[in-house]
Amino acid sequence: MFNKDCFLDHIAVAVENLDVAEKVYQDLGLTFDKRETVLDQQVETSFAHIDENAHIELLMPIDKKGPIQAFLEKKGPGIHHMCYRVPDVVKKSEELTALGYKLLYETPRSGANNCLVNFIHPKSTGGVLIEISQKM
């Protein structure tokens, strides 16, 4: 049974070069239709639709700074996080905190694609960084 209130929004992949990484997915048949800079995270993003809900989001650090650069230095290119769309990210953040999950931000922040976001720390999820996102 599908939950219409929470669904996979995107899988984010940390990359060193957007153009090179886009080509891999373009060769699979995906079309990248949007790039966006998120200065707060020091990242350039590129999005391709997989289906009516889910996307691939490529993440490239700006000027070799920020959390994606740190991820690349520690782990190399690869899957960075999974994002789930929720109706109310503030409420969901509070619910998850009450359940004992550790979130990266005390209050949600602005993210790419005109969204409000928060992240569940991988230590709370068995090693997977999970983003929750609300379209603004």
Would you list the DSSP string of 73-115? HHH-SEEEEEEEE-S-HHHHHHHHHHTTPPBS-SS-EEETTTE
Does residue 1 lie within any of the structural domains?
no
Count of structural domains within the chain: 1
**104: containing domain:** 7-135
- Residue 68 CA to residue 73 CA, distance in Å, equals 9
Please check whether residue 2 lies inside any domain of the structure: no
Query: Do residues 69 and 12 touch, judged by C-beta distance below 8 A?
Result: no
List, for residues 84-114, the tens digit of each pLDDT value: 999 999 999 999 999 999 999 999 998 888 8
Domain presence at residue 29: yes
Task: Find the CATH number of the domain harbouring 120.
Answer: 3.10.180.10
pLDDT tens, residue by residue, 31-51: 999 899 998 889 999 999 998
**In terms of pTM, does the model score above 0.85?**
yes
Is residue 25 situated within a structural domain?
yes
Residue type, 126: G
Considering the domain boundaries, does residue 100 fall inside one?
yes
- For the record, the structure tokens of 82 come out as 């999974």
Could you tell me the strand order of the sheet in which 78-85 lies?
32-38, 43-49, 55-61, 7-14, 78-85, 130-135, 115-120, 109-111
Is residue 97 one of the residues assigned to a domain? yes
Does residue 79 belong to any structural domain of this protein?
yes
